[in-house]
Structure 1
């Protein structure tokens, strides 16, 4: 066995979500095809085999207490969170692995496990958006950021749902072995090179609540049909035949945002698609209805914590490199 391999320990337990540990494990395993850099080991709190959330039986290499030194400890999540992490033996297993590891990462609701042991106190962290409010309420000393795909504070990492665990694993491979290796892994797994950790977890259309009333539905439809056309609260009010004051209240109550914020969000989604299709930043800004490329850059950075050019570079680094040679 290669003595220089980095030992990655995955903690599995009854009720664990398979994709939360299989996805990241595949990233490290794929890296081994060209680098032989990682040794993957799977542990349970007691050393007994476990049953996943889908009923799949998983064999383990031993108990967390017997793991020995690790380079990386991975704590996956469960649909039964947060209650599953109230189990004392599971929390002790997390502490044992974390205490033996150079760095620790949680996947999805595995953040509850890190939070339950105090490892996230005073840190920024993320989890799947559907668990974010519960995580924040249960652990007020954790700065929960439901927008981010993954976070890092020192040697502690957290990530959002299933696909974000792959993003985080690719980031760790890039950190260990460089961008070329990470890019090669992404190409073979047919995923992006790496989405920026600050990228939003979900699209604007899914994030905003569905409009309930006829007025809100008409406004949402009007904006969605063509986000690029000049739109103001006055033109929207005229379209649905109500006063601007009444419409402002309806949009706020129904959609939870201002009309301007809603329009900007839809335009950002459109610009994202245009950038992925190969348009320049200026072209994407015009196609999405932004007044200028600078306006797009400001809005893009505020929402995704990266620039349009950087996003496009990452998108192209995976999609173009995967294209077959002609």
Structure 2
């Protein structure tokens, strides 16, 4: 006999991101249909209870006004979207967020919904994340929040924040695993044809996708050289000779155009290339370490821990490309 439903409230507002809402609602719906011992009762609520436009142009009709939400809640989730700044300035909304958070076992945000939680004072003194493109703004606007732009989601006590858009799916799968165990979470992920599940500490954006190639010709040529010679000697003196400049000038160029040192850049490229090999091949760690220019599997492991906060073996278990029937 199922237990009493877990009360979940999703907070929406004008120009919210539809996927921020749908990812949470659909994961919990799938968990219910797969037999969650205590099913989730999900309600969408807004300040006025009226239909509201999402940023995509589609309109959602909420179940209730926020002032109609009473009693204890299991989970409170604030969506993000291009309307998050206006939402964070709405004092009525913030009062409801604070009130409902006090009644909730856990409080969460998806994407830029973190800005609403921060405006409500719920992230002060806490570590949090948000969409990578908005992390700098969040940190500047709310200096009491320790903003980490890297992870897919962050848990600090009973408060959870997730990165951009579909990371809400990863966060909600983590909720299902917390509440019902890994088997149900795995089945939900399979039903949704997604990973089970990308760990919260996985980086949001690979450095290979994070921006255009450097405009400076020498730096651009060197980054191409690094990518093509990962197994070779890529020390700063070698790269400087390759570019025909001094090591000091090389360091200045990397700092100006890549925001890092040559050594750190090379280590990061090697770690990310190793990650691609771990998820896309069945090569042993020794072979991957050698091909990526790491002197040993232990050196590879240390670089992986520094960059992904997880060992290579665990990364491979999560990211191996498995086809589901």
Task: Give the TM interval when normalised to the shorter protein.
Answer: over 0.9
Describe the SS at the equivalent of 2:75.
strand
Alpha-carbon distance in structure 1 between the residues aligned to 2:157 and 2:216? 47
- The number of residue pairs the alignment matches comes to 321
Q: How does 1:109-258 map to 2 (within 5 A)?
A: 109-207=112-210, 210-258=213-261
Describe the SS at the equivalent of 1:73.
strand
Give 1:107 deviation, angstroms. Answer: 0.4
Alpha-carbon distance in structure 1 between the residues aligned to 2:212 and 2:258? 6
Alpha-carbon distance in structure 1 between the residues aligned to 2:82 and 2:266? 34
Give 1:178 deviation, angstroms. Answer: 0.4
Alpha-carbon distance in structure 2 between the residues aligned to 1:240 and 1:135? 39
Moved more, 23-32 or 224-233: 224-233
Which ranges of structure 2 fall in alignment gaps of 5 or more residues? none
Q: Does 1:22 align with 2:38?
A: no
- The match for 2:32 is 32
Greater per-residue helix proportion: 1
Q: Does 1:49 align with 2:51?
A: yes
Describe the SS at the equivalent of 1:162.
coil
Alpha-carbon distance in structure 1 between the residues aligned to 2:300 and 2:167? 25
Residue by residue over 1:276-300, the C-alpha shift from the partner in whole angstroms, topping out at 9 and shown as x without a partner, is 1233332322222211110111111
Alpha-carbon distance in structure 2 between the residues aligned to 1:71 and 1:142? 24
- The match for 2:302 is 298
Alpha-carbon distance in structure 2 between the residues aligned to 1:307 and 1:133? 28
Alpha-carbon distance in structure 2 between the residues aligned to 1:254 and 1:155? 39
- The match for 2:103 is 100
Give 1:273 deviation, angstroms. Answer: 1.0
- The match for 2:67 is 65
Alpha-carbon distance in structure 1 between the residues aligned to 2:220 and 2:319? 33
Q: How does 1:307-318 map to 2 (within 5 A)?
A: 307-316=311-320
Cα RMSD after superposing both structures: 1.7
Which ranges of structure 1 fall in alignment gaps of 5 or more residues? none
Moved more, 225-234 or 285-294: 225-234
State TM-score, norm by structure 2. 0.94
Q: Are 1:65 and 1:97, in contact at CA under 8 Å, matched by a contact in 2? A: no
